[in-house]
Amino acid sequence: MSEPSVTRPRRWDKPFSLEAGSEKEMTDTDVEELLQIPPFCEIDSSRFKRSLSLQEILKNDARIVGFDDGDIIVRRGDWGSSAFLILSGNVRVELERGESSLPDEILGRRHRRMKTLWESFSQLWRNHREAEVREVAEVSSARPAMNTRLTRGRTRIYLQEVSAVLDKYRTARLEPGHLFGELAALGRTSRVATVFSEGVSQLLEIRWQGIRDILRYDTHGGLKRYIEDAFRERALASFLRTDPLFQECSTDLMQRIVEQAEFYTLGNYDSSRPFKELNSNPLRITETGEPVIIREGETPRGIVMIRSGLARISQRYYQGRRTVGYLSPGQVFGLEEIQSGMKASVSQPCQTQLSAIGHLNVVVIPKELVEEILEQQNTTGNNAATEPPRLSPTCQTVKIDDEALLGQLIDRNYVQGTSLMVIDLDRCTRCDDCVRACATAHDNNPRFIRHGPVLNQFMVPSSCLHCVDPVCMIECPTGAIYRDLGQGDIVINDQTCIGCAQCASNCPFDAIRMVDIRDSRGNLIVDSKTHAPLTQATKCDLCIDQRTGPACERACPHDALFRVDMQDAVQVEEVFAR
């Protein structure tokens, strides 16, 4: 009996314009009209491959979407995977930060309220007996300031009387021809501002894969120049000043750094296979398929600063390599070698190798400018030419003495976690007090499963990691899953979750579950039109409304359960060196 065979799926089997929420399919006429306007009219289409032409990219990786008055296009703090070009109409962009910014309730976020001492204590007997109980009124109606509606095939959060409301806040109006959202889409960072549609507007939405491919061949064209100039102008200086090395940098020197900095994007958005290799050597790939940024033994031509993603530090070990550390956003590589070279007056080679884990964005600051910074600090009395600048804990390289354990943590991508749950099996007695405490804190519904991979004597249960790069937030149509801007925790708003399961599908750790919700009597809550059971996403929220923090950790009687911020070098070494 012959084995069944199928055609391998291809990227463009389903164009972006045919995905859920699209209004119409992109046509050849639409593409030709786009090619007549900036920045596409400034791109030399002859540089593209015949199998990957500019016309095909626009037809398959872009779509035209319409927004009604008050619709939220992108929301501050959310992760996005696409950029937008305004074709017609106007949009309003929030400019304020902190206390002067738009309230979370307007943006569809849950108002954070801590339980009182009595409410926490009464959980012991007041919790519902039925699973996944929701208050019907809470599910069916939203807060007065926030509304959702189904428009143009998509569920959206919208703001009533948008102009009147936004006039109370500091905003900017963007007109046709303006591109926005590209920095967050390509950099795998959160949106820095909320954008509303003012009146009816029509936008071109380009998913990140299309932008990536255009940038591959548009080496001197309008889109590449626009994106790089936008990052230099809007964000580079602020990003660099997050590192102590640049905090005291003079205005003149910082301006030259901004002008001469180089940007590199390596690795793939969805896996560790590379989509862009460094131009100097197309074979700079490690045995594991990771693009190499700096090889061991090479003289660094500058320092590498991680903008987004994670990077592996490894050393030669017999005929192979062993992992000795990793870098997360904001950390730098190559500074020690440049400092040593200044001290010895001879260039020093790198003692380790730096490679990209998955999708990585880096900024490279030329060696000459770094030396000028160090000399400037030395002149002002910091003596930085002979001693490294004092780095904050977040700028330390994370290392673990057990290379095999460190390698497993990196290969399984657990280094993404800002709150990784770890259970020491040498101490755990399997009493399940952690699960019961979690259930008590969440109305008798535990938010994690006490099972998972075992690394040495440590087990990593199926619980939300609260990742540095939370891909679960990408594609949520209402923004119901979001990062709490105060604590950084990733939480789900039951009032705006529509049960689409995008977050559960995107989570690489299977830490999000879709559950049928019930009323207080145990009856399934169903859709009023289809009568199908309503589902919602659930996951660990770090007991965000409990005054004493995560109940699982607090309840462990044997000090066996830990929450580990994998970006904190000291904490990582303390836990995994037990």
The whole-number average pLDDT for the span 85-99 is 84
pLDDT greater at residue 255 or residue 134: 255
User: Among 83-92, 382-391, 542-551, which range has the highest average pLDDT?
Assistant: 83-92
> What pLDDT is attached to residue 222?
72
pLDDT greater at residue 9 or residue 192: 192
Q: Give residue 389's pLDDT band: very low, low, confident or very high (50, 70, 90).
A: very low
DSSP 115: P
Lowest-pLDDT range, 13-22, 62-71, 315-324, 525-534? 13-22
> What pLDDT is attached to residue 399?
67
Q: Give residue 425's pLDDT band: very low, low, confident or very high (50, 70, 90).
A: very high
> What pLDDT is attached to residue 100?
62
Topology classification of domain 11-108+144-216: Jelly Rolls (2.60.120)
CB 357 within 8 A of CB 312: yes
Spatial CA neighbour of 308 closest among 343, 347, 265, 344: 265
Residue 224 has pLDDT above 70, yes or no: yes
Domain ranges of the chain: 11-108+144-216, 220-397, 408-576
Q: Is 21 exposed, middle or buried (0-12, 13-18, 19+ CB in 10 A)?
A: middle
Cis peptide before 39 (omega within 30 of 0): yes
Residues β-bridged to residue 421: 563
Lowest-pLDDT range, 106-115, 204-213, 314-323, 533-542? 106-115
> What pLDDT is attached to residue 143?
41
Question: Could you tell me how far CA 570 lies from the centroid of its own chain?
Answer: 23
* Alpha-carbon torsion (394, 287, 270, 562), positive or negative: negative
The CATH class, in words, for 220-397 is mainly beta
Both structure tokens of 373: 């910074």
pLDDT greater at residue 107 or residue 565: 565
pLDDT greater at residue 526 or residue 127: 526
Mean pLDDT over all residues of the chain? 81
Q: Of all helices (H) and strands (E), which one includes residue 245? A: helix 244-247
The whole-number average pLDDT for the span 536-541 is 93
> What pLDDT is attached to residue 270?
43
pLDDT greater at residue 209 or residue 57: 57
Check if 11-108+144-216 and 220-397 are the same fold: yes
pLDDT in tens, 442-456: 888 899 989 999 999
Task: Look up tokens 């009182």; give the residue.
Answer: 116
Helix (H, G, I), strand (E, B) or coil at 20: coil
Residue 107 has pLDDT above 90, yes or no: no
The whole-number average pLDDT for the span 27-56 is 91
Topology classification of domain 408-576: Alpha-Beta Plaits (3.30.70)
d(CA 122, CA 339) in angstroms, rounded, equals 59
Q: Give residue 2's pLDDT band: very low, low, confident or very high (50, 70, 90).
A: very low
Lowest-pLDDT range, 25-29, 159-163, 234-238? 159-163
> What pLDDT is attached to residue 282?
37
Q: Give residue 280's pLDDT band: very low, low, confident or very high (50, 70, 90).
A: very low
> What pLDDT is attached to residue 42?
87
> What pLDDT is attached to residue 564?
93
Residue 362 has pLDDT above 70, yes or no: yes
> What pLDDT is attached to residue 65?
92
Q: Give residue 303's pLDDT band: very low, low, confident or very high (50, 70, 90).
A: very high
d(CA 292, CA 350) in angstroms, rounded, equals 13
> What pLDDT is attached to residue 308?
81
The whole-number average pLDDT for the span 393-417 is 75
CB 99 within 8 A of CB 226: no
Residue 424 has pLDDT above 50, yes or no: yes
The pTM of the full predicted model, rounded to 2 decimals, is: 0.67
Residue 298 has pLDDT above 90, yes or no: yes
Q: Give residue 111's pLDDT band: very low, low, confident or very high (50, 70, 90).
A: low
d(CA 59, CA 12) in angstroms, rounded, equals 10
> What pLDDT is attached to residue 217?
83
Residue 398 has pLDDT above 70, yes or no: no
Q: Give residue 397's pLDDT band: very low, low, confident or very high (50, 70, 90).
A: low
